[in-house]
């Protein structure tokens, strides 16, 4: 048992009468509480949140945690990251600043393939240590639940090593990880050259890598980078269907660099989410709305790649989509481990309000991952006991102080992950 006290403001993200994700006009309804507040925890779950004077008698002698008058929210959920990378790609960053494009660098064997090389060369201990450092960076910025993708192994052995590193690093840091096999991130050097080689890699992903990743729950989901010059819509459909057959849930990197049909494909296969969506048009958005496919916006990568086109979050909210945000933390397109900075970008460039941007990292991120929104991404009785404390007076400041780390503490309580 534990009682959190010395709280003046708590963002519950639990407006009365709303279940599931926060949609349309409800998206900004964070249902904050004010006053002399307390949160009580038993067995890893929230048992009470409200005025300290109403704390149930059973908690009178429970240990206390002093929250120092800071703002309390649910711990953030980062629903799209690539954390199992070993080295920065700041060298390519300089090349891009000097004029080379992301696609040009990739075509020269840099980009995703340079991260692949580093992963394949690293020993298990080095890969785990690097992954752990990357997840720690997210935790330092308020995150306790993280979706982590492989995708820098690009063969069975190294994809599985990445997934294990994410699992083990998460356990070491008491973070809850959702693991996604992204073997279909790029074509490895062994399978480049012609269409037949590329098709052979797709078959290997479908018939060997995904089933191995699904075994024993190592991965829960599969992802595919559907983009011109990478995986075609037909290849992405094959990956999605194979994932399903092996019991994996599906998500898609869609419409990031061009309008390449990934969002319609995601809707068509009933994917949990389509992510990026800078180039998604109105037809794609309505297909996603009909299919119940969530939109995960990653404006950190739009910013870092200096793109002119930003995802139109306002239109997606208006169409009734569950809109979530994530850091996309990775060494190539988004070396950005700070969700508050991503909230700032979403507010400045994607049309979200500060309250909506925060909901997009809490309850809506839970739904994008198909976590139960009665337990994840909110502070209410029955919710998982993971919280973040912020050095601000009001939650609107989280999207406002761009670049600062406002998180003072992430509190994860005994048993919260199970
Ligand atoms: O989400 N779009 C493809 N994948 C990543 C980038 C990965 C990388 O460059 O290493 C993304 O932007
Ligand atoms: Fe990504």
76-368, what's its fold? TIM Barrel (3.20.20)
Ramachandran assignment for 362, one of left (phi > 0), alpha (psi -120 to 50 degrees), beta (any other): alpha
Question: Could you tell me the pTM of the whole model?
Answer: 0.98
The pLDDT assigned to 296 comes to: 99
CATH number of 2-74+375-412: 2.30.40.10
Give the number of the ligand closest to the Cα of residue 256. 1
Residues of the chain with pLDDT under 50: none
The 10s digit of each residue's pLDDT in 68-112 is 999 999 999 999 999 999 999 999 999 999 999 988 998 888 999
| Residues whose CB is less than 8 angstroms from the CB of residue 86 and which lie 6 or more positions away in sequence, other chains included | 115, 118, 119, 121, 122, 126, 127, 130
Could you tell me if the CB of 188 is within 6 A of ligand 1? Answer: no
Tokens matching residue 99: 């004029």
Cα 182 to middle of ligand 2, angstroms = 9
Residue having the nearest C-alpha atom to atom 9 of ligand 1? 332
Q: 232-249 burial, b for 16+ CB within 10 Å, e for fewer?
A: bbebbbbbbebbbebebb
pLDDT of residue 211: 98
Mutate to test the pocket of ligand 1, among 88, 147, 225, 275 (most ligand atoms within 8 A of CB): 225
Residue 258 has what pLDDT?
Answer: 96
Q: What is the pLDDT of residue 123?
A: 98
333 lines ligand 1 (CB under 6 A): yes
Specify the pLDDT at position 159.
Answer: 98
pLDDT, position 102: 84
pLDDT number for residue 352: 98
* Domain ranges across the chain: 2-74+375-412, 76-368
Q: Which pLDDT value is given to residue 106?
A: 87
Ligand 1 centroid to Cα of residue 253, in Å, is 9
pLDDT value, residue 107: 83
110 C-beta closer than 6 A to ligand 1: no
What per-residue confidence (pLDDT) applies to 310? Answer: 98
């Amino acid at each position: 048992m534990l009682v959190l006290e010395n709280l003046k403001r708590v963002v519950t993200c639990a407006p009365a009468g709303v279940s599931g994700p926060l949609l349309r006009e409800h998206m900004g309804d964070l249902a904050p509480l004010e006053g002399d507040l307390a949160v009580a925890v038993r067995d890893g779950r929230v048992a009470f949140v409200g005025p300290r004077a109403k704390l149930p008698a059973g908690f009178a002698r429970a240990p206390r945690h002093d929250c120092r008058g800071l703002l309390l929210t649910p711990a953030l959920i980062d629903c799209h990251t690539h954390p199992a990378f070993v080295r920065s790609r700041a060298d390519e960053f300089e090349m891009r600043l000097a004029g080379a494009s992301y696609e040009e660098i990739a075509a020269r064997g840099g980009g995703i393939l340079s991260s692949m090389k580093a992963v394949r060369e690293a020993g298990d201990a080095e890969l785990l240590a690097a992954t752990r450092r990357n997840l720690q960076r997210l935790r330092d910025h308020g995150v306790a639940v993280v979706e982590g993708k492989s995708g820098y192994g690009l063969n069975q052995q190294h994809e599985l090593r990445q997934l294990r590193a994410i699992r083990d690093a998460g356990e070491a840091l008491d973070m809850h990880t959702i693991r996604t096999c992204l073997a279909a991130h790029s074509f490895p050097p062994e399978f480049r050259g012609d269409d037949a080689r590329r098709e052979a890699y797709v078959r290997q992903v479908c018939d060997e890598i995904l089933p191995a990743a699904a075994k024993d729950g190592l991965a829960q989901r599969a992802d595919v980078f559907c983009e011109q010059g990478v995986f075609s819509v037909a290849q992405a459909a094959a990956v999605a269907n194979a994932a399903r057959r092996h019991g994996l849930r599906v998500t898609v990197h869609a419409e990031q660099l061009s309008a390449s049909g990934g969002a319609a494909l995601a809707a068509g296969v009933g994917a949990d989410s389509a992510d990026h969506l800078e180039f998604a048009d109105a037809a794609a958005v309505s297909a996603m709305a009909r299919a119940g496919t969530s939109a995960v916006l990653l404006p950190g990568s739009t910013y870092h790649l200096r793109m002119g086109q930003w995802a139109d979050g306002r239109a997606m909210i208006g169409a009734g989509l569950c809109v979530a945000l994530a850091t996309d933390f990775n060494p190539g397109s988004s070396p950005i481990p700070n969700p508050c900075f991503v909230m700032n970008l979403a507010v400045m460039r994607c049309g979200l309000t500060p309250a909506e941007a925060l909901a997009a990292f809490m309850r809506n991120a839970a739904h994008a991952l198909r976590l139960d929104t009665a337990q994840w991404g909110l502070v209410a009785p029955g919710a998982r006991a993971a919280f973040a404390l912020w050095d601000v007076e009001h939650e609107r400041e989280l999207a406002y102080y761009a670049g600062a780390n406002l998180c003072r503490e992430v509190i994860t309580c005994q048993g919260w992950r199970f």
